[in-house]
């Protein structure tokens, strides 16, 4: 980088990058895996998968919080020559670096359905949920500190992950308006507008079309509604297993 600057990636974006692919691969694997009876039967498989979902989510979301907290506490302000990496670039680098691991995990989840139906898919979905919960926790810290957390790109591992790994010596921080991702690593929320004129004025003020809702009264998904939809999907699988017993 010129003049001693470094490329910086959002910590929460790196953490969150694997949540969506793991969740959706897990849901697909659980749905397909509920078809065969397996060695244990569908009901036992789905119930075991639900337990694995909870354990995997907790085991992914809770560890290393002290490490993240210590790095965040010692974060230095980003320099004017540092380059902030776009959210899409960070997510693409993580998913490209982990694509074969994701494919292998999906195949293993499908194969495990012949022994324990749907359990492997729910395990994958639980890991994805845990990553999302960890990113949401980081987002709460960022809002509380009124600063976004960044990590040097060259300190990430070869697959674009591990933002709190051993090579990472400190985070960098910026104001909450920096970059193109909201606290927690999610895309920035689109401001609500009640008319086309209101949307146009919001677009002129904001200057970024992707942050303005195209239709009046647009809503963004809230965190509790997303979790509720996930639990409803698991409940439907459990009812399916009970009805086919």
pLDDT at 189 over 70: no
Residue 99 has pLDDT above 90, yes or no: yes
pLDDT for 108-146, tens place per residue?
999 998 989 999 999 999 999 999 999 999 999 999 999
Position 80 pLDDT exceeds 90: no
The mean per-residue pLDDT over the stretch 38-52 comes to: 89
Q: Which of 60-64, 90-94, 221-225 has the lowest mean pLDDT?
A: 221-225
Query: CA torsion 194→196→202→208, rounded to 10°?
Result: 130
Neighbours of 151 (CB within 10 A): 29
What is the pLDDT of the chain when averaged over all its residues?
Answer: 81
Confidence band for 24, pLDDT divided at 50, 70 and 90: very high
CA dihedral 93, 99, 105, 108 (to 10 degrees): 180
Number of neighbouring beta carbons within 10 Å of residue 148: 31
CB atoms within 10 A of CB 118: 34
Q: Are 14 and 184 in contact (CB under 8 A)?
A: no
């Amino acid at each position: 980088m010129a003049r001693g600057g470094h490329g910086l990636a959002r910590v929460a974006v790196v953490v969150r990058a694997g949540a969506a692919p793991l969740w959706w691969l897990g849901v697909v694997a659980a749905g397909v895996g509920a078809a065969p009876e397996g060695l244990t039967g569908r009901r036992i498989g789905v119930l075991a998968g639900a337990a694995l979902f909870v354990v995997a989510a907790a085991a992914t979301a809770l560890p290393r919080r002290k490490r993240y907290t210590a790095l965040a506490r010692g974060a230095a302000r980003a320099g004017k020559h540092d380059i902030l990496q776009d959210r899409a670039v960070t997510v693409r680098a993580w998913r490209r670096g982990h694509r074969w691991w994701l494919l292998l995990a999906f195949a293993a989840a499908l194969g495990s359905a012949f022994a324990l139906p749907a359990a492997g898919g729910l395990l994958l979905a639980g890991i994805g949920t845990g990553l999302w919960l960890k990113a949401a926790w980081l987002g709460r810290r960022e809002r509380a500190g009124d600063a976004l957390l960044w990590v040097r790109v060259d300190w990430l591992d070869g697959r674009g992950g591990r933002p709190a790994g051993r090579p990472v010596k400190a985070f960098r921080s910026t104001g909450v308006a920096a970059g193109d991702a909201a606290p927690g690593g999610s895309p920035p929320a689109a401001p609500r507008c009640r008319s086309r004129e209101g949307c146009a004025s919001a677009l002129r003020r904001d200057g970024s079309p992707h942050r303005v809702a195209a239709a009046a009264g647009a809503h963004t998904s809230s965190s509790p509604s997303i979790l509720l939809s996930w639990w409803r999907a698991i409940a439907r699988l459990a009812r399916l297993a009970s009805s086919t017993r």
